[in-house]
Structures are given as structure tokens and as C-alpha cells.
Structure 1
């Protein structure tokens, strides 16, 4: 700012404040006019002591360009802001500029560099709103590089911080990131649940940018759930909104998604039409990972049509494009498709080479991950899957040299499966017994009572009371079936040859379960919280059994806790053990029920209360815990809630 410039006036400062508050959500033409005014004042006015006004204006200009894919312009603004902050020793402004420059790196596909920058900034930033934004950015970055567990961790940290500080609007980005993590893990309904909450918030706060992002995501979720009508509805709604408020290159994402929906539902010609429109828009910007994914979509169509040579051309272009980024998910997709194409063309050497490269990426991801059950188990699953496919290609290329080995392995697998099938009678007997006694009778009663109501045997004035009774019975049957399903899962685990006790971090497992029950708690107006003594808490557990236990305990706690009550999960170290407690302010249990559970018995069902279930929950938990060298401690009394505690060993015996 040169000294001979005209000083910025109070009126101009007031104007800049209004423009900063409204710029992001303006219609496109209005935003261009606002940008012109802001850039003129920044360039042609001396801001003197109004340094923060200058910094905020430059930051908002850069944010607008960044949100709308104009990365070069955004980088220029944030670099200008960084120089200004350092020259004037404005530490908070410097941190904001560094965070935004990292965001520009992420938009160019340099996600790992961006994450590293945000992690360096995070401990220095005490501003709650900026901290939430940085946590959300880190979450999104980890999602792009395939670290689903870490993405969820940072997203939940951001969501928790926003909730504690009652910053409702800042919950939108974490909710979108949580949904995205579950969508990448093929958990489409769970992703949709979080995105619908984010959609309500985006509409409430008129957050246009978030609104068309979440509309796009919801379209993909409905597509995965095979609801073409709703998928197209939300996709076109996102497109129409972007046409009003966005730059041309921002139309690419909804156009690409519309093409994908048509492809999924067997309309390749319409899909190609929209893919072509999307690619034209992608080429106007710098979102190389999304561009590569779009190019790969062309290949997908040609693979389905059997034109493998044409598909190969698109895939090689997609691979060249994605290699400009850190987007490992897209790279893995493209190389897997190349392996498939080369195999179809009979070139098993190249097919195997691309499968090997995919394996290397997965190995690198494993090496960079923290040891936690979600990411490592998922990565190992896909690694094994890729290795098996690579082995198939290698065998074809070497004239089926290892055919005998494959037959032997298949024989061993068949023997294992046969052993499991021999034990299924036990599970079926258990299931038939419960259905016969606890499900069939209420359903028969439904039919009889409804028949009597229809034929006039029961007076109309009694209908309301009877329907309420049937409703209560229906809820009871629903809970019976819910408990039966967990019983089946545990019964199946009893058939396993061994318990797979692995020392692993319990925090990500608990957070993934917490996320399932949080929407339920919100709907019931129950305060569901967690308290972990450390960021990483390791213990020896069997992942599947551990999940069954925690799900049952949370299900019981929420089931028996009334509105305005609370449920809490706490985990801490106690000597050579990890102590995990689930506490609630619910109805509690009497001493007779507690003794029955401790003796390994299923508590007697109270026929007068439909919300008792079949009494399997805590008994299932006790059996599962015994197999993991743990136990169940119950502190409870009627009307005062319950506290269920468990100790898990840190080391093996």
C-alpha cells in the first residue's frame, strides 16, 4: 500500500464488510461485480491502520476464487495476504493465509502436502472457527488419499468441536466429510443419513457452496441405493443451482454425476453425452483428480461395449492426468481398469504389471497409516483381493504353471467351508426356537384381532385401544428381531476355529460405532458423548466380537434411556488393562436381573413390558467378553441408570 494512495474511507470500509459477508453465496453476476469493487479498493486505497480490513478483504477474494476452482487467482491472493501478514507481524492473518494456501495445494491434487501444512498450523490456531475449518480440511484430504479412518477421526473432531461451541453452520463440512468417508466404504445408507442432515443445515443457513456439494453427494448415494428417480432429481437440482451461482468449470461435477447415474442404469448413450459435457468443463480448470475420474468413465462405457482398444486410450490419458495429484483412490481405480483391459486384450504381462503397481500403492498406504482396525483391515482386504487377481493374470501368462497349487488351495478352502456348514444346524435350531416362541405368537394375534375388527366382532369405540396395543406389540416384535440378528452374528462367531485377538487401537472402532448411534440419539433427544483419555488406546480384542459388544451396550443404553437423558462411553488405561465403561441415566436393573446375567443366564422376560426384548443383549456381551479374556461388571439400580464396565488386556498372557 503506497503512502500517496487515497485513504480508505469509513463508507468504503462498511461496503467491504457487507461484501465480505455476502460474496460467497452471491449469484454469479453479482459476485463478479462485488469482486471488481473489492479488488479495486484493495489495489487503490491506503488502508493505514485498517490492516485487518485489508487482510480480510484479500482473504475473502481468495476464498471466492478457490471455492469456484480459480486456483491460480486464489493462490495469488493468499500469497499477497501472507506477504502482508509477515511484513506487518500479523500472526493470525499469517496462519489463515498458510491454511488457505494449503487448500489451494489440495485443490491441485497435492493432498499430502496440504495435510502436512494444516497439521503444522493446527496446534498454533486457537480460533475455534478456524480450527474447525482446518480439521475439516484435513479430513477431506485424508479421504482423497484413501485414509478413511483418519478422515473420519478428524471429521468427528471437527463435528464435536462445532457442537461443543454451538456453531451449527460449521457442522456442515464435517457432516459432509463423514458421509463421504462412509460412501467410499460402500456404506451408502449411512452416508445418506449424514448428508441429509448436512442438507438441512445448508438450507437453513443459505450456504450455497455447501448446498450444491451435498446435493451432488446425495444424488450419488441414491444412485448406489438403486433409486434412479431420486438420484437424477438431486443431481439436476445441483446442476441448476451451479448454473446460477458458479463458474463454468464448476458445472463439471454434477454433469459427470448425471452421466454416471445414466451409466449405472443401463443408458450408455445418455451417459456419454453428459460425460462429454463434464470433461469439457473439467478441462477449463485444475481439478486433475476429478478430471481423471471423468476420463476413466469414458473407458468404463467402452469396456461395457467391448471396445477395449478405445477404453485403453482413455485410461492411459486418465492415468497421466491423475499422476499429477496424490489422489490414490482414483489412481487405483484407473490401474485396475487398465489391468482388466489388457487382460481382455490378451496382454497378461501388462495386466500383471498394473496389478503390481496397484499393490504397491496399497502397501504404501498401509505403511503410512496408523495401526487401527478400520483402515488396516480394509487395506489388507483389498490388498489380498488385488494379490489374488494379480496371481490369476500371472498364471495365465505362464501357461497355467501353478494350476495344481490353485486346486490344492481350493480343496483346503472347500474343507473349511464344509466344516462350517456342518455346524449351521445349531444356529438354525436356535433361530427357529426364538421365532416359534417369541415372534410367531404375536403375529398370529395381530391377524386374529384385525380380523375381528374387520368383521365387526369388536365395537368401533374399542378400536383405538386395540390398535395402540397392536402398535406396542409390533414394537416388541421389532426389538425381538433386532436382538435375534445380534444373536445370529454371535452364534456364527462361535463356529469360528479361533478368536482373532489382535492388539489394536480401540478409538477408531468406537468412533465408527459412535457415528452409527449418534443420529438415533439426536432423534431421541438423548445426549450421547464420549471421553477417551488418550488419542490412541490399544488393547487385545477380536474386532468382530468387540463391535458386537459395544453395539449391544449402546443399543440397550439408548433403548432404556428417556428423552433428555444421557449416554456416555469412556475409555482409559488402568495398569495392564484398558477399562471401557458405558453409562446411562436410563431405567436401570434390579439385583435379580444382574445376578442372572452374572450367572450366564438369560434374564426372565417380563410379559407385561414390551420394551424388555428377549433378554439376550447383556448375556451375548458376557459370552463374547469371556472369549476375549474380559468380563462384565454391572452397577445399576431401578430408576437410577446403569454403568457397564469391562477390562481388556493390553498384552497377551
Structure 2
């Protein structure tokens, strides 16, 4: 089953995942070589054969050839002839292979339930006839279908069955596909380390057996992994590795080449290399047109249209959007059509063509509700609300806004529940590992004690000289036992600290989240009152938005703090970081809060301040320091960010004209024994007290230092922190 892993360029509001195509193509055991036979040769052979097992094999070989040429209807017609003939002849091997090919054809046509049914039938037929050599290929395609359906547990179990079977058959040429299938499943579940480990194991096997075409697709999958981690340069590096292995003159690899071009175009667009991205999309379009694959042509046109929309070329993008939707509606997956519908509706709206935009957005909303796609449903409802409001139909606009808000609440609850569940699972796993480690230490102590007893018995049995040597051995053993005991005490202390962290985490969750959530519930209840005046409605909406921002910030800090406390974030990922961009990004995020209090926020950076640090950690430090400055600065105040260079480091300063701090409070906030402390702001803004603790820890992890200065209460506060200057370190991430 061949899929294309396409990520569209973002529209003004969000990006759809146009399709989730795995870059793996099945290579069918004994039948894998049949696709190289000319169609004329197979057709001539079929014409002279009788109704026997040889005819079943020829029908299958001919169908497989058509399947690899994307002639799905022709392939299905041949397979429908082969299946009843194989069953009439009791030809179990041929029946299993025919059912496998039928499942493969359904999977390539995105008819996933039919594909699963046929592949399970093929598995049953192969087991019944003891033709286990066909099972790895059946399991591979079945795992791909399960992954496409989002049934990751079934996909993982199927790939593991394939791996065990390949090990029993000593079949390395198909074992690598089981590793790749597991790699994709783990990537879909968000487990980057396991996914990368599986893909690298697949690469090792392919390099050993010399399977270059599949190796190119595995490199692409690794590139997709790094894309998920927003490491675009590394993703492109692996795509270039795969591209070097492909042979453009080979017709069998042109389909894969087109898919490479599309994915590399998307990666280039993410780096704003728009000219190169457009060139790659057009190259892919030419390839798919030459292969007569309308769905893939539509996909390549769709990403090109989104690129043009992203760069503001709306008139040029419009016909591409229309053509993409027309091609995808001829037989593409529903998620592809959903994506194309919204992108075209959004383009119509931006061009002022309201009627066309409303029609397509309504279709998109209906399809999104049918498919249960939260993101799509939210964006379609939001667009419809905007269009209705523009027309003056405020009642209908309110209804669509309620749909969007309800969808966003569901999406928010789902995402945060998954995050908290993963955090709890990680904590329990760390506890279990520590318990196992402690038990292992106890066993080592018992073994040492047994050896000590033997030394004593031997010492008593011999003379004074042996007793002296035994005493020396006993002293050494006791010293070793003391060291082991100290290690055990350290393990116990660590366990106690983890338990304290857990209690603190759940205490904060129970205390600090209850208030914001109760407020949210009260606000939503008020908003459900239809007769609220417009002024009150806007007032409550602003409060609701402010409460949501505070709750999201609290949860982000909770998750980051808990991960740090449980040593889940020991590793940092430093890289060159332009500090001005990080400051401006946080200004954009916090500008609404500052304007609410009529505060002036500005910076004195010149645009050439490059630091060597983890970008995510630095952004969190800046966000928390700026949030605190806004929180504790009264109406009409001023907040200024500055940077100075000293001793191969940058010193960033966040100064405010707020309430100020005395020396004792500064020591409590940033001293060695400082712990989370919650204080309300000048406008009664709540807080969890985690911000400064996280800031200090993240700055120190990046080789810097955090401190604060204040002339006293009423005279404002300045927080300083340092970061290594880029170029001053020789560390390579």
C-alpha cells in the first residue's frame, strides 16, 4: 500500500493534514518479481492457458502488474476471475495470494474496511494452507491499513506478529518492513524515541540486504519524524539521503519521486524558501500527470495553492484550489476532500466572494461533523460565523460561534487530558524503575553478605596468617557494603522526593485549577442566556478569554514544572537563537494583557544578539518574566527589555515600573531554597507561583544565572538572566 505523507502549507487560520501517506510500497515475496514482466507477455500467456492453477497464478501476476501501474479497476476485474477459480480448484496458495492482492487494491483505493476484511481472509487462507511465507506481506499491508484508520494498537500487534514470523523464517528482506511499520505507529502515537529506534533498525537491515528503493522511503519517514519535532533542516537532510537513492529514469520509482518532491516542497515552504517549494510542487504535478494519477495530481496542486495563499497570491491560488478539489472529488480520501473544501472556502472569503465561501464552508462543516474531525469542525464553524457576522446575520453567527466554542472546549479537554495522563504514566514508570533498582541493590547486598560469611569460615579454618588475610578481605567487603548502603539511602531519598513532587503537583492541580475552571463554568452559564445585552456579552467574552489564557498558562507551567522536577527534561537542545525574535514573539502573545492594563512594552535590542540556548526554554523564561512584570505593574506603567554583552554572554533584563520588592522578598523568590509561591497581581490576577522556579531552573540548565534587583516597594523591579553568546561555545547539538 503506497501513501504520501503530505503536510500542507498553513492557511490564515490553520493547516489541514491533507493526507497521511506512508512512504512504503509492498514487495510481495515470491510474486514481487511478477510486476517486471511486460503486460503483453502476461496477456498472451493468459490467452493460451486453460482453467488450472497456472491460470490463477497468471491472473494474479497480471493483476499485480496493473496494480503497480495504478490500474485499479483492471486489477480488481482480474482478481475477481482468479478468486472463484482458485476456490473451485482448491488451490489454497493461489486463493491466499488473490485475497491479499484484493486487500492491497482496496487499501490503495482508500477503501479501508474492505481492505481489512480481505486481508484477514487472506491471513486465514494462508494459515489454512500452511503457506506462512505469504503472511509477512499480508501483515505489512494490514498494519498500514490499521495505521491509516488510526487503530494503532492493532497496527502495533500486527507488525509485531510479522517481526516474529520473519525471525522464524530468517527473512530479513521483509523484516525491515515490520520495523518500519512499528516506527510509523509509534510516530503517530507521539513516541519519537521509539519511532526513531524502529526506523534506524529498519535502515540497518536494508543496508545489510541492499534494498535501496525501500531504504529511500525509510529515510523519508525519518525525515517526517524530524518534521514532527520541528527540526526542518534535519528532516530535509534525510529526504536528500533518500532522493540520492532514487532513479528518476526508472518508471517504477517515478511515483515515489513525485511524493518526495511534494514533501520536500512542504519542508521548504516551512523555511520560507517559497520559490524552491513552488518548483518542487510543479515537478511533482508533472510526474503524477504522466502517471495518470488524478488524486496525487490534486494533492500536489493543493499544496501549491496553499503556498500561493500563504504568500498572498490569492487570485493566482484560486484556480489551483478549484482544480485540486475537482480532482480529489474523483476518488480521494474524505479527509483530502475536507481539506480542499476548507482551503477553497477560505480563499473565496479572503477574495470577498461570500456566497461561494459560505456554500463550501457549510459542506466542510457537515463533512467534518460526519468524520469527527475537531480541528476542521472548529475552523469551518469559525469561518461561517465570520461570514454571517459580515452579512449582519448575528443570530446565525452566534450559533456558529457556539459550535466553534463547543468544539474548541472538546479539543482542549482531550489534549490536556492526554497530556496529564502521559505525565502520570511517566511518573508511575519512574517509580517502578526505582523500585526495581532498589530491589536489585538489596540482592547485591545479600550476595555480598554470603561471601562475607564464607570468608569468615575460611579464616577460622586456617592459621594466623589466613585469619589476617581474611580480616583484610572483611574490611574491604564492609567498605563496599557501606558504599552500597549509601547508594540505597540515596535511592530512597530520591523516591521520597518524587512522592513529594507528586503530592505538590496534584495539590496545585486540585487547588489552582479549581478556581479558574469554576469561573469558566460560571461565564459559560451566563453566555447561554440569550437575552444578554451586547455590551454585557462583550464584557463576559473578554473575561472568558482572559480566564482561558490564565488557565492555559497555568497548565503549561504545571506540565513544565512537573517534568523538570521528575528529571524528565534533563536534556536540552541548544541552538543559535536570535533574542530579538524571541522577545517579539512574546510581545505578540502578551500584548492583549498589557493593553488591558494600559501598559507600554518595548525593547532596546538591536537585532544582532545571537545566543546559544534551547529556544523553547528561553521563550518560556521570557514569557514568565514578562507575564510577572505585567501582573505586578499598575495601570499606565512601562515594561522594557534590554540586552548587554559581557564575558561571552548576553545579559537580558526585564524592567518594570511596578510595585517593587524588598530584600527579604527577593531572597525568598530566588534564594537557593526558593519554592513556588503564589501572589495576586495589581488587578487581582491569580498565579500558581511556578513561573520563577521554572525560569531559574531553565536558565541554569542553559549555563546562565537568574537574579533580580529592586530599589524597594513602589520603585519597580528588574529581573536579569544570562545566556551564552552564540559562537562562544564549541558545543554541537
SS of the residue aligned with 1:325?
Answer: coil
The 2-side partners of 1:21 and 1:130 are apart by 7
Task: Indicate if the aligned counterparts of 2:104 and 2:141 stay in contact, CA closer than 8 A.
Answer: yes
Aligned pair 1:195/2:219, yes or no?
Answer: no
CA RMSD of aligned residues (A): 5.0
Q: Tell me the residue number matched to 1:239.
A: 243
**Shift of residue 143, structure 1, vs aligned partner:** 4.4
Match of 1:346 among 352, 355, 360: 352
Q: Tell me the residue number matched to 1:395.
A: 389
The 2-side partners of 1:187 and 1:288 are apart by 34
Match of 2:260 among 254, 258, 262: 254
Per-residue displacement from partner, 1:516-571 (whole Å, max 9, x unpaired)?
A: xxxxxxxxxxxxxxxxxxxxxxxxxxxx9xxx9xxx9xx99xxxxxxxxxxxxxxx
Q: Tell me the residue number matched to 2:94.
A: 93
Task: Indicate if the aligned counterparts of 2:302 and 2:320 stay in contact, CA closer than 8 A.
Answer: yes
Q: Tell me the residue number matched to 2:283.
A: 277
Task: Indicate if the aligned counterparts of 1:259 and 1:274 stay in contact, CA closer than 8 A.
Answer: yes
The 2-side partners of 1:228 and 1:280 are apart by 25
CA 1:273–1:35 in 2, change beyond 3 Å: closer, same or farther? same
**Shift of residue 190, structure 1, vs aligned partner:** 5.7
**Shift of residue 38, structure 1, vs aligned partner:** 7.3
Q: Tell me the residue number matched to 1:11.
A: none
Q: Tell me the residue number matched to 1:9.
A: none
**Shift of residue 277, structure 1, vs aligned partner:** 0.9
SS of the residue aligned with 2:247?
Answer: helix
Per-residue displacement from partner, 1:301-346 (whole Å, max 9, x unpaired)?
A: 1101212232221122222222223512322222221232122123
Q: Tell me the residue number matched to 1:154.
A: 154
Match of 1:355 among 352, 361, 374: 361
**Shift of residue 293, structure 1, vs aligned partner:** 2.0
**Shift of residue 238, structure 1, vs aligned partner:** 2.5
CA 1:21–1:490 in 2, change beyond 3 Å: closer, same or farther? same
**Shift of residue 488, structure 1, vs aligned partner:** 7.3
**Shift of residue 286, structure 1, vs aligned partner:** 5.2
Per-residue displacement from partner, 1:592-615 (whole Å, max 9, x unpaired)?
A: xxxxxxxxxxxxxxxxxxxxxxxx
Q: Tell me the residue number matched to 1:335.
A: 341
CA 1:162–1:114 in 2, change beyond 3 Å: closer, same or farther? closer
The 1-side partners of 2:194 and 2:223 are apart by 14
The 2-side partners of 1:281 and 1:161 are apart by 36
The 2-side partners of 1:314 and 1:298 are apart by 8
**Shift of residue 24, structure 1, vs aligned partner:** 4.4
**Shift of residue 360, structure 1, vs aligned partner:** 2.7
Task: Indicate if the aligned counterparts of 2:163 and 2:178 stay in contact, CA closer than 8 A.
Answer: no
The 2-side partners of 1:341 and 1:183 are apart by 32
The 1-side partners of 2:180 and 2:193 are apart by 14
CA 1:364–1:197 in 2, change beyond 3 Å: closer, same or farther? farther
Per-residue displacement from partner, 1:35-90 (whole Å, max 9, x unpaired)?
A: 589749945986998x46x6556645644553464656755664564365245331
**Paired residues for 1:470-485 under 5 Å:** none
Per-residue displacement from partner, 1:215-268 (whole Å, max 9, x unpaired)?
A: 222223323434344323322332333316534334211121221221111111
**Paired residues for 1:75-154 under 5 Å:** 75=76, 78=79, 81-82=82-83, 84-86=85-87, 88-126=89-127, 127-144=131-148, 147-148=149-150, 150=151, 152-154=152-154
Task: Indicate if the aligned counterparts of 1:248 and 1:281 stay in contact, CA closer than 8 A.
Answer: yes
**Shift of residue 348, structure 1, vs aligned partner:** 4.2
The 1-side partners of 2:383 and 2:495 are apart by 42
CA 1:381–1:44 in 2, change beyond 3 Å: closer, same or farther? closer
Aligned pair 1:494/2:510, yes or no?
Answer: yes
Aligned pair 1:215/2:219, yes or no?
Answer: yes
Per-residue displacement from partner, 1:582-639 (whole Å, max 9, x unpaired)?
A: xxxxxxxxxxxxxxxxxxxxxxxxxxxxxxxxxxxxxxxxxxxxxxxxxxxxxxxxxx
The 1-side partners of 2:96 and 2:322 are apart by 40
CA 1:403–1:103 in 2, change beyond 3 Å: closer, same or farther? closer
Q: Tell me the residue number matched to 1:602.
A: none
CA 1:132–1:326 in 2, change beyond 3 Å: closer, same or farther? farther
**Shift of residue 279, structure 1, vs aligned partner:** 0.8
Match of 2:299 among 285, 293, 298: 293
**Shift of residue 275, structure 1, vs aligned partner:** 0.8
The 2-side partners of 1:230 and 1:261 are apart by 10
Task: Indicate if the aligned counterparts of 1:20 and 1:57 stay in contact, CA closer than 8 A.
Answer: no
Task: Indicate if the aligned counterparts of 2:268 and 2:277 stay in contact, CA closer than 8 A.
Answer: yes
The 2-side partners of 1:218 and 1:292 are apart by 25
CA 1:259–1:333 in 2, change beyond 3 Å: closer, same or farther? same
Task: Indicate if the aligned counterparts of 1:359 and 1:386 stay in contact, CA closer than 8 A.
Answer: yes
The 2-side partners of 1:104 and 1:139 are apart by 15
The 1-side partners of 2:496 and 2:335 are apart by 41
Which runs of 5 or more structure 1 residues have no equivalent in the other structure?
A: 1-18, 367-378, 421-467, 501-543, 557-653
CA 1:320–1:225 in 2, change beyond 3 Å: closer, same or farther? same
The 2-side partners of 1:67 and 1:480 are apart by 60
CA 1:494–1:81 in 2, change beyond 3 Å: closer, same or farther? same
The 2-side partners of 1:260 and 1:71 are apart by 28
The 2-side partners of 1:357 and 1:61 are apart by 41
The 1-side partners of 2:33 and 2:496 are apart by 49
CA 1:142–1:325 in 2, change beyond 3 Å: closer, same or farther? farther
CA 1:230–1:117 in 2, change beyond 3 Å: closer, same or farther? same
Task: Indicate if the aligned counterparts of 2:361 and 2:384 stay in contact, CA closer than 8 A.
Answer: yes
**Paired residues for 1:447-486 under 5 Å:** none
Moved more, 93-102 or 79-88: 79-88
**Paired residues for 1:7-46 under 5 Å:** 24=32, 32=36, 39=42, 42=45
The 1-side partners of 2:44 and 2:500 are apart by 68
Q: Tell me the residue number matched to 1:462.
A: none
The 1-side partners of 2:212 and 2:502 are apart by 42
The 1-side partners of 2:324 and 2:350 are apart by 19
Which runs of 5 or more structure 2 residues have no equivalent in the other structure?
A: 1-26, 417-482, 518-554, 568-733
Match of 1:225 among 214, 220, 229: 229
Q: Tell me the residue number matched to 1:324.
A: 330
CA 1:183–1:89 in 2, change beyond 3 Å: closer, same or farther? same
Task: Indicate if the aligned counterparts of 1:256 and 1:278 stay in contact, CA closer than 8 A.
Answer: yes
The 1-side partners of 2:340 and 2:305 are apart by 9
The 2-side partners of 1:178 and 1:338 are apart by 36
Task: Indicate if the aligned counterparts of 1:25 and 1:207 stay in contact, CA closer than 8 A.
Answer: no
Per-residue displacement from partner, 1:73-108 (whole Å, max 9, x unpaired)?
A: 755664564365245331341232132123223323
Task: Indicate if the aligned counterparts of 1:24 and 1:209 stay in contact, CA closer than 8 A.
Answer: no
Per-residue displacement from partner, 1:99-140 (whole Å, max 9, x unpaired)?
A: 212322332344444344335555554255544544443443
Aligned pair 1:66/2:59, yes or no?
Answer: no
